[in-house]
Structure 1
Amino acid sequence: MKKQILDGCTAAAHVAFALSDVATIYPITPIASMGETAQKWGLAGRRNLMGQALEVKELESELGAAGAVHGAAAAGALATTFTASQGLMLMIPNMYKISGELLPVVFHVGCRSLATHALSIFGDHQDVMACRATGFTMLASASVQETMDLALVAHLAAIEGSLPVLHFFDGWRTSSEMDTIDVIDYEDMRPLVNWDKVNEFRRKAMNPEHPGQRGSAQNPDVYFQNREASNRFYDAFPAIVQSCMDKVANLTGRSYHLVDYYGAPDADRVIVAIESAAEVVSETVDYLNREKGYKTGVIKIHLYRPFPVEAFRKSLPDSVKTIAVLDRTKEPGAQHEPLCEDVMSALYNTSRSSDIRIIGGRYGLSSKEFDPAMVKAVFDEMAKDNPKNPFTVGINDDVTNLSLDVTDNIETDVASQTFQSILYAIGNDGTVGGTKQVAEIIGNSPGLYAQAYFSYSAKKSGGYTISQLRIGRQPVISAYGINGADYVGCHKASYVNRFSMLDKIKEGGTFVLNSPWTPKQMCERLPLDMRRTIAEKKLKFYNIDADSIAAQCGLGTRINMPMQTVFLYLTNIILFDESLGALKEQIKKTYIHEGGDVV
């Protein structure tokens, strides 16, 4: 294994490439890069565990991709696809057939909102929750590191258990977030694969030399019986997943279970969550238990289907009085959302069902922020005699009045021990790409870890972008927006009138503005409240005319190189001479296809 900074899509593609013969795709935000990345690796000479390049086929739509992945698996190929949102919805009819035929297909999904009253390209769980009845098993990852580790578990378990797996992770928060992680080598994966099961699967493939019957139509006399006959595969699957998790743990030293409990052993309040929200809750639990004297915990669900009832029951501390289940989806008209219903069912008619109060809430639809202050609001609501049930958190619901009040501003120890920066820019000015390059330089340096996350308007090119970069001496796990930045960059001068960008900067922090304004003009162009904040927070304020520098260098509107250089110089996290040399290497790697003169 080697330490490297990657985004969630690349982490999942790394494993999918190793353990698949074919990937049938149709690009969709936020996982469009996965197929392209796999193709580039194949052209560069990378080979999978079967000794060949992953064959990536782009179809005319997600419906075609689903049909093709079904056909490839029926023909004996280890097959995968990458999708999200409405694309996943188009695959549902084929998903029923794939699971019904017990084919070990793996879908990697960067889950995303569905188009309802409006389209949204951002993340939540509405798409994957619509697939619960398809027969696909479902495995959730909460971070970029987990995405790599559990993608491997997904492929191993699909082969071992003869069932398809939908491996999902947060669209945007995890799919595009860059983290410094341990990358698993292909040769280390090889011994974990049950190659006898692979050969058995291939022997069952459609073949004119030994024909078999598939896709028949059945009458009432046998359909029901045959549908129930699949139960044994699903009954056995949780143990198979745990076995595969144990194999990966023995290799990596990172332990996973079907559900993981974190927090006080005598917790009286516990939150149940999936994916990156569980990381936010874990970080907040540490803070509340240590600093506020709370007794709280979190249960992180990894295997969602089949729901691991026994493992869930065993994970609950005996002291728990109230459970809040957080769902990142909405099912209009339902009593509760899916995860909450599953938790209620798991505890129904047990010895503890009368002792534990269960409430459900919604959070994070369309990538709405979910941070430690909101977690505290949920725990505080749980302590009330009559808490809201259901509730929402993260919005101000002045229509149905279900939202919780969020009043605290929390900085956890994890946040205080990292260097944090926020960069405001316009799409296509190079800032997002430049931030990724800085993250690579720092995140791949010995003793340093980086996390880079990007949000932008649906316009993408020409709309606003906000790049957030965290740097620490330990792995950075904070899966929420920065609230206390050490460094804020405004890469477009007009944004001083659009964003309250200094609300989230620490006292004594660094503020860098890209503008053509002279010091005298600053008193006229900068809003009064911004000038007051600069003075009151004792900020170090710098200005650079990066647009003029970019124009002089023939970069057009791309200001990423001068602004990256400013960041590396002012922060000095790595000695500037060293970081400048690394930046020049990044420039060569990124722009060599344009020719030596451009570099």
Structure 2
Amino acid sequence: MFKQTVDGNTAAAHVAYAFSDVAAIYPITPSSPMAGICDSWAAHGRKNIWGQKLQISELQSEAGAAGAVHGSLAAGAFTTTFTASQGLLLMVPNMYKIAGEHLPAVFHVTARAVAAHALSIFGDHSDVMATRQTGFALLASGSVQEAHDMALISHLATVEAEVPFVHFFDGFRTSHEIQKIELLDYDEMAPLIDTDAVKKFRRRGLTPERPIQRGTAQNPDIFFQAREAGNKYYLAAPDIVQQIMDRVAPVLGRRYHLFDYVGAPDATDVIVTMGSSTEAVEETVSYLTKQGRKVGVLKVRLYRPFSAKHFLQALPATCQRIAVLDRTKEPGAVGEPLYQDVCTVLKENGKKITVIGGRYGLGSKEFTPSMVNAVFDNLAAAGPVNHFSVGITDDVTFASLPVTKEISTEPEGTVRCKFFGLGSDGTVGANKNSIKIIGDYTDMYAQG
């Protein structure tokens, strides 16, 4: 293990390269650096855990990249790709096929807004939410360190679960954030993978020496039954992911769960969220609990398959009210996706807990501790606003929460610097280098 100051894209790419034979790519902001970094490593002769250089092919579009991923997987090669936004949507048809054939793969996604009334290259979960019913497992990272750790867990889990994974982290907020993190060496990663599962996958590869019929068309007499036959893989997947989280914990020095709770052990008010917002909410929870507030945050790691059992185990028994935060908008729905999932789990398990939902951070809109505090204040109110938005002033439907109190959760001793550039003068590159110099050549931790 070694420490290095990197961004989220580099952290995920470091792991993807280790566990992949092939990468089929097509660039799209903000995921492009992952493919570029892997291409550079391959050109310079870096070897994966099997002692081979990654084979990289750039296709004509994301649809072509997804088709190439499918074909490569069918041939028995571990294959990955990197994408976001409309690029991910172009991969959806092949994602159904890859999941339906239970091929192990990891798509690393820098979650980004999907163009609606206007184009936005910035981060939210609109693209990832469009893949919920493809059959891919969805695993979320909330920081640069987690981008490395969850990438590792995804690549290990997909082989054992025989379910493909989307590993996603917030575009720009995490993908381009620079932090000093801990990365595993490839010789530390190699022993973690299930070699029997690897051999099983490679034996399934299409070859003229072992002909097999695959990709058939099925009629009404059998299609339904075959579709339901895959249930056992998704029922088993959550426990497999948790087992892998437990397995890698001693190596990483960090322990993860499908749902991680942080806050007062006797909390009455809890926020449920995922992605980079978990960091802001956790900071706010730490600030508020020191003031005696009984609040907490439940971080969603594995979003699909959604494990009701693990969710309820992580939720404090004292919880009376939940605010679910979604970083997406589903026009016309009775609520956003994560909100509906939480409501369903509580209803089906007879939990009488008040649940409200809200939207935040669309198109990388700022999400601060002061806004988190406003969510908790609304949750504790006698008549809380449901289906709210926070971070904007909604003067159309008047559903936004007012942020009336500014709070600071910044630790004492933190040094902040702000640099102004004139454009094309090298300021951004110089600042990134400065952050890396501080992180890599001193004992201090730098973030930028």
Which residue matches 1:433? 429
Correspondence for 2:324: 325
| TM-score normalised per structure 1 | 0.74
Q: Decide which moves more: 365-374 or 248-257.
A: 248-257
CA drift of 1:253 comes to: 1.1
Contact 1:363/1:392 (8 A) holds in 2: yes
Structural mapping, 1:150-549, within 5 Å: 150-290=150-290, 292-352=291-351, 354=352, 356-414=353-411, 416-452=412-448
1:33 aligns with 2:29: no
Q: Which has the higher contact order (CA 8 A, sep 6+)?
A: 2
Q: Is 92-101 or 42-51 further displaced after alignment?
A: 42-51
**What CA distance in whole angstroms lies between the structure 2 residues aligned with 1:371 and 1:231?**
40
Query: Displacement, 1:436?
Result: 0.8
Shift of 1:351: 3.6
In the TM superposition, residue 413 of structure 1 has moved relative to its aligned partner by: 4.3
1:299 match: secondary structure: strand
The gaps in structure 2 that reach 5 residues or longer are none
The SS at the match of 1:425 is coil
The DSSP-based 3-state class of the residue aligned with 1:361 is: strand
CA separation of 1:10 and 1:319: change in aligned 2, threshold 3 A: same
- How much has 1:446 moved relative to structure 2? 3.4
Per-residue CA deviations over 1:406-446 (Å, capped at 9, x if unaligned) read 022211143x3311122232432211110110011101133
Deviations 1:62-86 (A, max 9, x none): 0000000000000000000000000
User: What residue is the counterpart of 1:75 in the other structure?
Assistant: 75
Separation in structure 1 between the aligned mates of residue 407 and residue 432 of structure 2, nearest angstrom = 27
1:173-210 residue CA offsets vs partner (Å, 9 max, x unmatched): 00000000001110000110111111110111111111
| 1-structure distance, mates of 2:387, 2:348 | 22
> Matched residues in 1 for 2:406 and 2:419: separation?
21
Local SS of the residue matching 2:114: coil
Deviations 1:348-396 (A, max 9, x none): 13242x2x10000000000000000000000000111111111000000
Which residue number in structure 1 is paired with residue 122 of structure 2? 122
How far off its partner does 1:261 sit?
A: 0.3
* Aligned residue type for 2:27: P
Deviations 1:221-253 (A, max 9, x none): 110000000000111101110111112111011
SS at match of 1:5: strand
Q: Secondary structure at the match of 2:151?
A: helix
Q: CA deviation at 1:334?
A: 0.5
Q: Decide whether aligned partners of structure 1 residues 3 and 165 sit closer, same or farther in structure 2, where only a CA change above 3 A counts.
A: same
Q: Distance in 2 between matches of 1:426 and 1:86?
A: 32
Q: In the aligned structure 1, how far is the partner of 2:7 from the partner of 2:307?
A: 29
Are 1:391 and 1:403, in contact at CA under 8 Å, matched by a contact in 2?
A: yes
The AA in structure 2 aligned to 1:338 is P
Contact 1:390 / 1:402 at 8 angstroms: preserved in 2? Answer: yes
Check whether the contact 1:362–1:391 (CA below 8 A) recurs between aligned residues: yes
* d(CA) in 2 for partners of 1:34, 1:238: 27
Alignment-derived partner of residue 48 in structure 2: 48
SS in 2 for 1:73: helix
Q: Which moved more, 1:33-42 or 1:328-337?
A: 33-42
Secondary structure of 1:239's counterpart equals helix
Q: When the two structures are superposed, what TM-score results if normalisation uses the length of structure 2?
A: 0.99
> 2:62 & 2:40 partners in 1: Cα distance?
21
Tell me if the contact between 1:20 and 1:48 (Cα under 8 Å) persists in the aligned partners. Answer: yes
Whole-angstrom CA distance in 1 between matches of 2:410 and 2:158: 39
The 2-side partners of 1:421 and 1:407 are apart by: 27
Alpha-carbon shift at residue 317 of structure 1 (Å)? 1.1
1:287–1:413 Cα contact (<8 Å) kept: no
Aligned amino acid, residue 346 of structure 1: V
Aligned equivalents of 1:157 and 1:215: distance in 2?
25
Q: Per the alignment, in what secondary structure is the counterpart of residue 362 of structure 1?
A: strand
Q: Deviations over 1:241-282 (max 9, x none)?
A: 011111211101100000000000011100000011011100
Deviation, structure 1 residue 36: 1.1
Distance in 1 (alpha carbons) for counterparts of 2:403 and 2:13: 38
- Asked if the contact 1:263–1:296 (Cα under 8 Å) also holds between the matched residues in 2, the reply is yes
SS at match of 2:420: strand
Displacement of 1:304 after TM fit? 0.3
State the distance in 1 between where 2:348 and 2:239 align: 24
Q: Distance in 1 between matches of 2:225 and 2:421?
A: 60
Change (3 A) 1:406 1:225: same
Name the aligned partner's letter for residue 297 of structure 2.
Answer: V
Q: Distance in 1 between matches of 2:413 and 2:119?
A: 38
Unaligned runs of 5+ in 1: 453-599
Alignment partners' CA distance in 2, 1:287 and 1:22: 45
1:88 alignment partner, SS class? helix
How many residues align? The count is 448
**Whole-angstrom distance in 2 between the partners of 1:417 and 1:277:** 23
Percent of residue pairs identical: 57
Deviation sequence 1:532-562 (CA, Å, 0-9, x none): xxxxxxxxxxxxxxxxxxxxxxxxxxxxxxx
> What secondary structure, in the 3-state scheme, does the structure 2 residue paired with 1:36 have?
helix
Provide the secondary structure at the position in 2 that maps to 1:348: helix
Structure number with larger C-alpha Rg: 1
Partners in 1 of 2:279 and 2:125 — Cα distance? 16
Whole-angstrom CA distance in 1 between matches of 2:313 and 2:404:
34
CA distance in 2, matches of 1:449, 1:434: 18
**Matched AA of 1:101:** E
Partner of 1:63: 63
Work out the CA distance in 2 between the residues paired with 1:281 and 1:70.
Answer: 38
| DSSP 3-state at the match of 1:443 | helix
> In structure 2, what is the equivalent of residue 592 of structure 1?
none
